[in-house]
Amino acid sequence: MTIILLVLQNIYPLMAQNSVEGRDFKPGNIAYVAGISSEEFVDFAPVVSPDGKTMLFESNRGNGWKLFESKLNANGFWSAPNPMESINNFGKRNDLIGGPSLSYDGNYLYFFAYFLYKGTSEDIYVSKRGANGWETPEKLGAPINTNAFEGFPSISPDNRTLYFIRENEAHPVDANTGEPCFVIHKSVKDYDGRWSEPEALPAQINMGCERSPKIMSDGKTLLFSSIRKGGIGGFDIYQTRLNDQGEWAEPILIEGLNTDADDLSPSITAAGDEMFFLQDYVIVKSQVPSGFGPLKTMTLEGHVKNTETGLPVTTDIEIINKTTGETISYITTDGPDGWYSIVLTAGTLYQVNFYNEGQEPLSFVYDLTDLTENKKETRTIAIEADRAIII
């Protein structure tokens, strides 16, 4: 535990004395986030909802490290950050709660925490969205959590692949910078809800000192921070992408963003046009440089409800590669209002089936083989006694 505490002291530097005013952020397209960027507090691990209207992050604005939330209003201004009390109050006064990751359907919040008297190390938790807000967090348990450090989770668009970091036992500290080093892992959830044994991503990603994995809206593009040969200085932000054969490309340094300071925790909206990240431990924003960011996607969203009662209906949604017949993903709408959100990536012919017990599936076909721009389709699926219809 002593080693972990020393690691955390280095992850969370005492930056409150560093004023935002007058700091020279380069290049010039990088800007402060009005209403959030702070010269008084240290903020960390920003994550933006797919629609770009909600930002979650951790901060020392309260007692210890806790989660905060800000909303983008109609005039384009971010609200003053508010503590996420339903999560923060689960712990004690000085517990560590950080590294938030919001699922793309908005129904699940992943984060890591060290709760006093609730464990012996930092573990990953998940909270489900209920009718009255975020419900009591649950620890994911084995095989994801161990007696060592697990943190900074990032959940894929289909809620089935979790990326996160563990301490690099073989290379715990970078020799040149003194920064603590981590290894990026992933775990896949099967259709019975069981997480697989985590595996480290390949060597071209895990060079020895990595942090901040973020999987994008296409489920294939991964951003992360790394200290490695060819970088500009400190942690720099890189991008890699999963191909159709399940292989990760050689990571590319994102041009136009990185500096000789630490550049960490990248988060891109589903539209792929704006990035929020940490630069020298202050939250900043930038347009995504050309050639980077997620592939084009089509988002399908809406509600599934009973036509007689108006109440939400739990529905299974199957996403199929219509060309190969392979089931790509299987999703259950189990939110408090029947909300669903599905992200389909360019380059594939899809069939989407909505299943309800005792009924024939309601099916849609989407040809995205030549998709060149992001699209969104909103549909309410109404469940009648013997069929499902669109309204």
Q: Say if residues 359 and 337 touch (Cβ distance below 8 Å).
A: no
Burial class (CB in 10 A: 0-12, 13-18, 19+), 317: buried
Residue with tokens 């012996």: 120
> How much is the pLDDT for 21?
42
Q: Nearest to residue 234, comparing CAs of 201, 212, 267, 203? A: 212
Q: Say if residues 251 and 225 touch (Cβ distance below 8 Å).
A: no
User: CB pairs under 8 A, 24+ apart, for 8-11?
Assistant: 8/96, 8/122, 10/178, 10/179, 10/180, 11/180
**b/e map of 112-121 (b: 16 or more CB within 10 Å)?**
bbbbeeeeeb
pLDDT tens for each residue of the chain, 391 residues long: 333 444 444 565 543 333 334 444 444 467 888 888 887 888 889 999 888 889 999 998 877 889 999 999 888 889 999 999 989 888 666 678 999 999 988 899 999 998 776 667 899 999 999 888 899 999 998 999 999 999 999 999 999 999 999 999 988 999 888 899 999 999 999 888 899 999 999 999 999 999 999 999 999 999 999 999 999 989 999 999 999 889 999 999 998 888 888 999 999 988 788 899 998 888 999 988 888 999 999 999 998 888 778 888 888 899 999 999 999 888 888 778 888 888 999 999 999 998 877 777 889 999 999 999 999 999 888 776 555 555 5
266 torsion bin: left (phi>0), alpha (psi -120 to 50), beta (else): beta
Q: Nearest to residue 284, comparing CAs of 263, 269, 270? A: 263
Q: Say if residues 351 and 368 touch (Cβ distance below 8 Å).
A: no
Residue type, 353: N
Angle at 114 between CA 84 and CA 107, to 5 degrees: 40
Three-state secondary-structure class, residue 84: coil
- CA 184, CA 137: separation in Å to the nearest integer? 23
Mention every residue, 6+ apart, whose C-beta is less than 8 A from residue 153.
99, 101, 110, 111, 112, 124, 162, 163, 164
- Paired tokens of 18: 């560093």
- CA 68, CA 33: separation in Å to the nearest integer? 15
Residue 228 phi, psi dihedral angles, 5° rounding: -155, 165
Q: Find the helix or strand (DSSP H, E) in which 240 lies.
A: strand 236-241
> How much is the pLDDT for 205?
98
What domains lie within the chain, and their CATH numbers? Answer: 2-287 (2.120.10.30), 297-390 (2.60.40.1120)
Three-state secondary-structure class, residue 200: strand
- Total-model pTM: 0.90
Q: Say if residues 301 and 343 touch (Cβ distance below 8 Å).
A: no
